[in-house]
């Protein structure tokens, strides 16, 4: 009977993780502003905090041109801060984080006409990694929260 209970507990725990993990790793928030204003708001706030914006991908427009597929407005703002990036990348043991660089925030409009912002839950990532890497990711999380604080109004 103990073994049966244990197996049921493990299966239930795994099911919960599978269901909840994606929702915990990516935060999606409704913007109080229209699409273009949301893009500008995030870009301007990031730059004011010293983040570089190497590019803004316009997936909505690019897919429309390349494949005549209309997904609606969707842009991804890439941003990076050299100090944080250098701290992570100078250590061979944390260079794997290059797969997460630069940081990105997705802005998209749904069929309901509302604008949404999707971003990685950097606070969660900072807790997952810990140590010096966790400390850097915590700083990134704090600054990302400042960049997107207008979403919490």
Q: What is the CATH number of the domain that holds 81?
A: 3.30.310.70
> What confidence score (pLDDT) does residue 4 get?
64
Rounded to two decimals, the pTM is 0.86
Given a contact cutoff of 8 angstroms between Cβ atoms, the answer to whether 120 and 26 are in contact is: yes
Segments of the chain with pLDDT less than 70: 1-6, 8-23
The crossing angle, in degrees rounded to 10, of helices 131-147 and 122-129 is 170
Q: What is the predicted pLDDT for the residue at 78?
A: 96
Return the pLDDT at 54.
95
pLDDT recorded at residue 19? 62
Three-class SS state of 107: strand
Q: Does residue 81 fall inside a structural domain?
A: yes
Q: What is the pLDDT of residue 24?
A: 74
Cα distance between residue 81 and residue 98, in whole Å: 13
What pLDDT does residue 116 have? 98
Please, is 67 exposed, middle or buried when counting C-beta atoms within 10 Å of its C-beta (0-12, 13-18, 19+)? exposed
Residue 3 within a domain: no
Q: What H or E segment, with its residue span, contains residue 22?
A: helix 2-25
Q: Is residue 143 part of a domain?
A: yes
Q: How many domains does the chain have?
A: 1
Residues 109 and 72: their CA atoms lie apart, in Å, by 6
Question: Is residue 49 in some structural domain?
Answer: yes
Within a domain: 18: no
Give me the residues paired with residue 20 across strands.
none
Instruction: Judge whether 48 lies within some domain.
Output: yes
Q: Is residue 9 part of a domain?
A: no
Other beta carbons within 10 Å of 120: 19
Asked if residue 6 belongs to a domain, the reply is no
Distance CA 43, CA 104 (A): 11
Segments forming the whole domain that contains residue 109: 26-152
H or E element: which one contains 29?
strand 26-30
Given a contact cutoff of 8 angstroms between Cβ atoms, the answer to whether 21 and 140 are in contact is no
């Amino acid at each position: 009977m103990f073994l049966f209970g244990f197996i049921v507990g493990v299966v239930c725990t795994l099911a919960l993780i599978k269901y909840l993990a994606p929702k915990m790793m990516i935060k999606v928030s409704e913007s109080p502003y229209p699409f273009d204003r949301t893009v500008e708001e995030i870009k301007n706030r990031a730059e004011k905090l010293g983040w570089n914006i190497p590019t803004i991908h316009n997936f909505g427009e690019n897919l429309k041109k390349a494949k005549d597929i209309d997904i609606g407005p969707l842009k991804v703002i890439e941003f990076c801060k050299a100090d944080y990036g250098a701290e992570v990348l100078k250590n061979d043991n944390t260079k794997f984080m290059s797969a997460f660089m630069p940081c990105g925030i997705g802005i998209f409009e749904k069929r309901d006409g509302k604008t949404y912002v999707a971003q990685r839950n950097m606070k969660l990532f900072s807790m997952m990694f810990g140590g010096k890497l966790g400390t850097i990711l915590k700083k990134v999380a704090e600054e990302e929260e400042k960049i997107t604080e207008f979403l919490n109004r």
